[in-house]
């Protein structure tokens, strides 16, 4: 049985494909996970190969199989009827596992057979047979045939992150490929935090910027997406980089703002950018120190 397998990644596109050579799945807003079942002993690895079995122990203990199998999928927390990454992060921080689900969308190895060279649709057929033997929190990621754009529009209306379209005849390759295409209903990017509005014990809103060449431009604010606990964590981090004045190239007037050095980056989901150059329908997903991701 092989060890951790580097995952296959989808290529971002503006529009979903259609036709008989494609199937389409909901894109889950969670943590990519690879589950290794070895005759009852289960390990769960992150996208980068870290062993997070203890963090996902409730899921690992639910794989009551005596086979040797490697599953590919996503760990999610459902909040307000859809996967919510922020809620998943909060549960991980608290060590809470009872809300976590594992949606499996692929199978890479089973009982001595490396399935990566098996066509996509055949892999999913075998996957469904195995998942049907199990119970929640382990679930099968259903797929749809036909018009991918119709599914994408439906997913958008329901505020899902988007969809992933997969070629039915494609093998599994450990790289970013055109055989998997993702279309996102929302855009996601990291923006430097340039200030915040205080809230008792935390933050009420974050002011965001964007580095364009030598200029730091104002991009608007975000005021949703965190719990009370996360709000306190954000405030604690930002209090370490408070600045007496704002760092924007073109200053703005915000009487309630506490300005900070742009050392922390907020991971933001947003629908689009307005004609004034501000983020529209933005939601906070996480905070990190250092440069933004590519």
Mean pLDDT per block of 10 residues along the chain (294 residues) reads 97 91 94 96 97 98 96 94 84 94 98 97 98 97 93 86 95 98 87 96 96 94 94 96 96 96 94 79 90 42
Query: What does the pLDDT read at residue 292?
Result: 45
Task: Check whether residue 97 and residue 243 sit in a common domain.
Answer: no
The percent of the chain in helix, strand and coil, each rounded to the nearest 5, is: 15, 45, 40
Query: What does the pLDDT read at residue 26?
Result: 94
The two structure tokens encoding residue 81: 């009827």
Which domain covers residue 245, as residue numbers?
Answer: 187-289
Domain final residue pick, 184, 202, 219: 184
Residues 53 and 75 sit within 8 Å (Cβ to Cβ)? no
CA distance 56 to 59: 5
Task: Check whether residue 35 and residue 176 sit in a common domain.
Answer: yes
Query: What does the pLDDT read at residue 291?
Result: 53
Task: Check whether residue 119 and residue 256 sit in a common domain.
Answer: no
Query: What does the pLDDT read at residue 80?
Result: 80
> Domain holding 256: CATH number?
2.40.50.140
Task: Check whether residue 117 and residue 210 sit in a common domain.
Answer: no
Rg (CA), the chain: 21
Task: Check whether residue 92 and residue 199 sit in a common domain.
Answer: no
pTM reported for the whole predicted model? 0.69
Residues 280 and 270 sit within 8 Å (Cβ to Cβ)? yes
Task: Check whether residue 239 and residue 98 sit in a common domain.
Answer: no
> Domain holding 49: CATH number?
3.30.470.30
Q: Specify if 2 maps to a domain.
A: no
What's the DSSP call for residue 131?
Answer: H
Task: Check whether residue 223 and residue 252 sit in a common domain.
Answer: yes
């Amino acid at each position: 049985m092989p060890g951790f397998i580097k995952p296959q990644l989808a290529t971002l596109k503006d529009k979903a494909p259609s036709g008989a050579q494609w199937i389409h799945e909901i894109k889950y807003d969670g943590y990519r996970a690879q589950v290794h079942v070895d005759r009852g002993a289960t390990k769960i690895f992150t996208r980068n190969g870290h062993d997070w079995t203890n963090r996902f122990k409730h899921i690992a203990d639910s794989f009551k199989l005596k086979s040797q199998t490697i599953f590919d999928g996503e760990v999610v927390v459902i909040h307000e009827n859809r996967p919510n990454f922020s809620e998943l992060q909060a549960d991980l921080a608290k060590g809470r596992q009872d809300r976590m689900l594992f949606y499996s969308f692929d199978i890479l190895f089973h009982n001595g057979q490396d399935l990566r060279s098996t066509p996509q649709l055949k892999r999913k057929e075998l996957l469904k047979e195995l998942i049907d033997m199990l119970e929640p929190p382990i679930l099968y990621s259903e797929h749809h045939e036909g018009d991918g754009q119709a599914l994408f529009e439906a997913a958008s209306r329901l505020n899902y992150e988007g969809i992933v379209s997969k070629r039915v005849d494609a093998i599994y390759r450990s790289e970013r490929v055109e055989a998997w295409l993702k279309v996102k209903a929302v855009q996601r990017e990291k923006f430097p935090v340039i200030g915040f509005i205080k809230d008792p014990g935390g933050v009420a809103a974050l002011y965001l910027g964007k580095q364009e060449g030598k200029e730091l431009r104002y991009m608007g604010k975000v005021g949703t997406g965190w719990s009370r606990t996360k709000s306190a964590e954000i405030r604690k981090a930002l209090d370490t980089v408070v600045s007496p004045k704002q760092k924007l190239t073109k200053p703005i007037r915000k009487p309630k703002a506490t300005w900070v050095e742009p050392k922390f980056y907020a991971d933001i989901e947003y629908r689009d950018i307005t004609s004034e150059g501000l983020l529209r329908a933005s939601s906070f997903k996480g905070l990190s120190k250092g440069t933004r991701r590519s």
